[in-house]
């Protein structure tokens, strides 16, 4: 199910009812249930459950470091006492979530922001159709937590007074944001009321400051206001070295250059060098131990890069006048404009140069969720689709739909609403953000694979030579308009049926007519999508004509507009009188087959059972 958040969660149940409550979470295989042996003998434990013999206190101590999150079904007092001795610091503690013994409320108890408990609480509440209880102050102000702001973009936290700045934020006091690097997408989804001021403003007395920068700043402990620094990973470190240069020599050389130029290690995106160094043990070990990617380039590529300090000697040795500078620039250029920030610094065994890229390296694997949100009421969305929406970094969709799912959104999410006509742009944008490493959902009304965005995004990916895996794609079905409409009028789709869109924007009218004729002739119950717009009426007139050629004018027809929305309208009529009603682009028309009938206000297509009685 959910790709990131449910990983490595333990659920603790002490009663049969608690096991029942947790069952939907354990079913997915992502949450491991832990139960005492006394309980295990009373019930049939779900597959994969872990049974413990010791006291819960001892068991918890034993498994504490194995999980990122613990979910308890118990009184919160008991949980508080159990976890108190185990808590260390909010940067390392697991998320703690408590569900009340009736399963009505899900409480984010501890490690709300950094531990992800708030987010997990929202997801679990959706899974269990319970109410999430989140008490983090920034959430109630609808602000993204400052300490998680850069997570979607892979930014790293630097030194600073993180608690202090969060306090200032919660009190809505003015905070100065000086952003020198990294994405500004987070700024675009802030609520209208927020405490952030961007850049310099001498008239305001700021109570806190956030730097978003590759530079590393030392804040004096006596500093007047709390300051923090986020480091987007924009620095590419170009490295040239002699054969056999040790990991230590490389580490020292990089550290020295960073220190001298006041750049943050956390801002390093990766390392770059010439391909013949791809097997240099010291360099490989350095890359691995600092968890940095290592990019290599051929001499052919490197010698095309203009650098400030080309060297004849280097050119003679490796067939390019620059390794460190040219490699740093080549890597940075893969992420937009590149600037050589630090020219090459030569030590005995190692040469280092640093280039800054325009766009940060996220270090994350992108994801696209193609989500159908149903006809337009939040109760008609599948729990899996809700989960996908809640956990996404970015939601892309037509504004009417992003508004409909607002209750599922959380403050740190980026919402991109594009006008209804810009489907192709929407698909490309989703792919672009996912390729960059973000987790994106593209939402469609109804089902995303029925006249929705799923096909378009997949088609676009295939045009781009997608390998089928990266970015990872998942499709979440939704209730399509034909099912939603049918459910409001009875059971008209009980026998073979088809859907036909009358929109001739993407389909030639001759094709539409051919399909209408085939459907009418073959006695399919037919759902008409996109029936008519202000300027496009003819296809509907043609549809009526074609159906009347093959079906009785008394054939039942349902005209269902804005189904499951506040302005829902339902008209039951007949084929002969169909066009007397108000029909527009928010309408789905269901035309019955030759056996469909009305009973009171219900439209029924027999499956055939009663015929055999
Ligand atoms: N993916 C959507 C279809 C999008 S095409 C789905 O699976 O339902 C748009 C057409 O869908 C509209 O012109 C209308 O015919 C139908 N439609 C979408 N939402 C609807 C609703 N709430 N009520 C009635 N028809 C709807």
Residues of the chain above pLDDT 90, percent:
78
Does residue 76 form part of some domain? yes
Q: What residue owns the CA closest to ligand 1's atom 18?
A: 481
pLDDT-derived band at 297 (thresholds 50, 70, 90) equals very high
More confident residue, 163 or 556: 556
Those residues with Cβ within 8 angstroms of residue 331's Cβ, 6 or more apart along the chain or in another chain? 236, 238, 269, 270, 272, 295, 297, 355, 357
Mean pLDDT of 72-100: 92
Mean pLDDT of 391-419: 88
Please tell me the distance from the alpha carbon of residue 9 to that of residue 180, in angstroms, as a whole number.
37
Query: Is 170 found in the same domain as 128?
Result: no
Please tell me the distance from the alpha carbon of residue 277 to that of residue 248, in angstroms, as a whole number.
16
Does residue 261 form part of some domain? yes
**Minimum-distance ligand 1 atom for the alpha carbon of 585:** 13
Ligand 1 centre distance from Cα of residue 558 (Å): 14
pLDDT-derived band at 2 (thresholds 50, 70, 90) equals very low
Mutate to test the pocket of ligand 1, among 382, 487, 529, 581 (most ligand atoms within 8 A of CB): 529
Residue 515 has pLDDT above 80, yes or no: yes
The residue range of the domain holding 585 is: 485-604
Q: List all residues whose CB is within 6 A of at least one atom of ligand 1.
A: 375-376, 444-447, 450-452, 480-481, 485, 529-530, 560-563, 565, 585-588
Ligand 1 centre distance from Cα of residue 456 (Å): 17
Query: Is 127 found in the same domain as 53?
Result: yes
> Residue 32, CB half-sphere, CA atoms under 13 Å: how many?
14
Whether the Cβ atoms of residue 97 and residue 108 lie closer than 8 Å to each other? yes
Q: What is the pLDDT of residue 123?
A: 85
Q: Which range (33-42, 262-271, 294-303, 440-449) has the least confidence? A: 33-42
Ligand 1 centre distance from Cα of residue 532 (Å): 12
**Minimum-distance ligand 1 atom for the alpha carbon of 565:** 22
pTM for the whole structure = 0.82
Average pLDDT of every residue of the chain? 93
Query: Is 131 found in the same domain as 6?
Result: yes
Query: Is 382 found in the same domain as 297?
Result: no
Query: Is 586 found in the same domain as 505?
Result: yes
Ligand 1 centre distance from Cα of residue 485 (Å): 9
Looking at 457, 479, 501, the residue that finishes a domain is: 479
Residue 260 has pLDDT above 50, yes or no: yes
Looking at 479, 510, 534, the residue that finishes a domain is: 479
**Residue 30: CATH number of its domain:** 3.40.50.11220
Among 197, 190, 233, residue whose Cα is nearest residue 412:
190
Query: Is 13 found in the same domain as 118?
Result: yes
Q: What is the pLDDT of residue 29?
A: 63
Residue 460 has pLDDT above 90, yes or no: yes
The sign of the torsion formed by the CA atoms of 122, 124, 126, 129 equals: negative
Residue 171 has pLDDT above 90, yes or no: no
pLDDT-derived band at 7 (thresholds 50, 70, 90) equals low
Query: Is 450 found in the same domain as 395?
Result: yes
Does residue 119 form part of some domain? yes
Please tell me the distance from the alpha carbon of residue 50 to that of residue 71, in angstroms, as a whole number.
14
Give the chain's domain count: 5
More confident residue, 95 or 222: 95
Q: What is the pLDDT of residue 3?
A: 42
Q: What is the pLDDT of residue 4?
A: 44
Query: Is 93 found in the same domain as 110?
Result: yes
Query: How does pLDDT run across 174-217, given as a tens digit for each residue?
Result: 999 999 999 999 998 888 889 999 988 888 899 999 999 999 99
- What 3-state DSSP class applies to 406? helix
**Residue 581: CATH number of its domain:** 3.30.950.10
Q: What is the pLDDT of residue 139?
A: 66
Q: What residue owns the CA closest to ligand 1's atom 4?
A: 451
- What 3-state DSSP class applies to 582? coil
Q: What are phi and psi of 490, to 5 degrees?
A: 135, -120
Query: Is 213 found in the same domain as 172?
Result: yes
Does residue 531 form part of some domain? yes
Does residue 141 form part of some domain? no
Looking at 433, 448, 479, the residue that finishes a domain is: 479
Ligand 1 centre distance from Cα of residue 588 (Å): 7
Query: How does pLDDT run across 491-507, given as a tens digit for each residue?
Result: 999 999 999 999 998 99
Please tell me the distance from the alpha carbon of residue 544 to that of residue 532, in angstroms, as a whole number.
12
**Minimum-distance ligand 1 atom for the alpha carbon of 447:** 7
Ligand 1 centre distance from Cα of residue 101 (Å): 40
pLDDT-derived band at 1 (thresholds 50, 70, 90) equals very low
Ligand 1 centre distance from Cα of residue 373 (Å): 11
Residues of the chain above pLDDT 70, percent:
98
Query: How does pLDDT run across 122-159, given as a tens digit for each residue?
Result: 888 888 889 999 987 776 677 888 988 999 999 999 99
Mean pLDDT of 36-62: 91
Residue 51 has pLDDT above 70, yes or no: yes
Please tell me the distance from the alpha carbon of residue 592 to that of residue 492, in angstroms, as a whole number.
7
Query: Is 405 found in the same domain as 444?
Result: yes
**Minimum-distance ligand 1 atom for the alpha carbon of 448:** 1
**Minimum-distance ligand 1 atom for the alpha carbon of 444:** 1
Query: How does pLDDT run across 571-596, given as a tens digit for each residue?
Result: 999 999 999 999 999 999 999 999 99
Q: What is the pLDDT of residue 48?
A: 85
Does residue 140 form part of some domain? no
Q: What is the pLDDT of residue 140?
A: 67
Q: What is the DSSP letter of 511?
A: H
Mean pLDDT of 236-241: 97
Does residue 197 form part of some domain? yes
Mutate to test the pocket of ligand 1, among 421, 588, 589 (most ligand atoms within 8 A of CB): 588
Query: How does pLDDT run across 340-377, given as a tens digit for each residue?
Result: 999 999 998 999 999 999 999 999 999 999 999 999 88
Query: Is 439 found in the same domain as 391?
Result: yes
**Residue 151: CATH number of its domain:** 3.40.1390
Residue 121 has pLDDT above 80, yes or no: yes
Q: What residue owns the CA closest to ligand 1's atom 21?
A: 562
Query: Is 51 found in the same domain as 26?
Result: yes
Does residue 343 form part of some domain? yes
Mean pLDDT of 540-564: 97
- What 3-state DSSP class applies to 613? coil
pLDDT-derived band at 80 (thresholds 50, 70, 90) equals very high
């Amino acid at each position: 199910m959910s790709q990131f958040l449910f990983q490595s969660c333990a659920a603790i149940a002490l009663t049969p009812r608690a096991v029942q409550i947790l069952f939907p979470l354990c079913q997915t295989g992502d949450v491991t249930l832990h139960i005492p042996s006394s309980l295990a003998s009373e019930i049939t434990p779900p597959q994969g459950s872990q049974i413990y013999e010791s006291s819960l206190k001892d068991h918890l101590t034993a498994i504490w470091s194995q999980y990122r999150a613990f979910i308890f079904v118990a009184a919160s007092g008991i949980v508080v006492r159990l976890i108190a001795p185990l808590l260390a610091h909010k940067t390392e503690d697991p998320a703690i979530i408590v569900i009340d013994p009736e399963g009505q409320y899900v409480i984010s108890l501890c490690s709300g922001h950094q531990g992800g408990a708030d987010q997990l609480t929202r997801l679990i509440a959706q899974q269990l159709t319970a109410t999430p209880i989140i008490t983090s102050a920034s959430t109630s102000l609808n602000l993204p937590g400052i300490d998680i702001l850069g997570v979607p973009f892979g930014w790293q936290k630097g030194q600073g007074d993180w608690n202090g700045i969060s306090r200032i934020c919660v009190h809505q006091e003015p905070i100065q944001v000086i952003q020198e690097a990294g994405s500004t997408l987070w700024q675009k989804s802030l609520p209208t009321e927020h405490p952030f001021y961007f850049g310099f403003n001498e008239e305001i007395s700021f109570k806190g400051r956030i730097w978003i920068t590759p530079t590393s700043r030392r804040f004096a402990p006596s500093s007047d206001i709390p300051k923090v620094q986020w480091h987007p990973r924009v620095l590419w470190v170009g490295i040239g070295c002699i054969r056999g240069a040790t990991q230590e020599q490389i580490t020292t050389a990089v550290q020295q250059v960073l220190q001298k130029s006041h750049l943050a290690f956390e801002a390093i995106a990766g390392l770059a060098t010439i391909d013949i160094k791809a097997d240099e043990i010291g360099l490989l070990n350095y890359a691995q131990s600092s968890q940095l990617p290592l990019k290599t380039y051929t001499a052919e590529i490197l010698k095309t890069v203009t650098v400030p300090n080309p060297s004849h000697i280097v050119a003679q040795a490796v067939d390019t006048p620059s390794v460190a500078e040219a490699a740093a620039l080549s890597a940075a250029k893969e992420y937009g404009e590149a600037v050589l920030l630090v020219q090459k610094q030569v030590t005995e065994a190692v040469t280092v140069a640093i280039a800054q890229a325009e766009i940060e390296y996220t270090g994350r694997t992108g994801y696209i969720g193609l989500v159908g949100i149903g006809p337009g009421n939040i109760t008609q969305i599948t729990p899996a689709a809700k989960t996908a929406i809640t956990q996404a970094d970015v939601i892309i969709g037509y504004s009417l739909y992003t508004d409909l799912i607002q209750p599922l959104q959380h403050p740190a999410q980026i919402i991109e609403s594009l006008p209804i006509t810009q489907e192709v742009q929407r698909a490309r944008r989703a792919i672009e953000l996912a390729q960059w490493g973000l987790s994106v959902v593209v939402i469609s009304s109804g089902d995303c694979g029925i006249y929705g965005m799923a096909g378009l995004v997949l088609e676009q990916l295939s045009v781009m030579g997608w390998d089928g895996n990266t970015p990872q794609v998942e499709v979440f079905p939704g209730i399509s308009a034909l099912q939603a409409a049918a459910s409001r009028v009875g059971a008209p789709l009980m026998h073979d049926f088809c859907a036909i869109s009358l929109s001739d924007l993407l389909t030639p009218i001759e094709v539409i007519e051919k399909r209408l004729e085939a459907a009418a002739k073959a006695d399919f119950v037919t759902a008409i999508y996109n029936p008519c717009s202000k300027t496009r009426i003819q296809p509907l007139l043609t549809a009526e004509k074609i159906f009347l050629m093959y079906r009785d004018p008394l054939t039942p027809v349902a005209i269902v507009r804005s189904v499951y929305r506040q302005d829902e309208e339902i008209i039951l009529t007949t084929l002969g009188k169909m066009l007397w009603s108000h029909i527009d682009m928010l309408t789905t028309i269901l035309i019955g087959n030759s056996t469909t009938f009305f009973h009171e206000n219900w439209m029924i297509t027999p499956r055939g059972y009663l015929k055999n009685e």
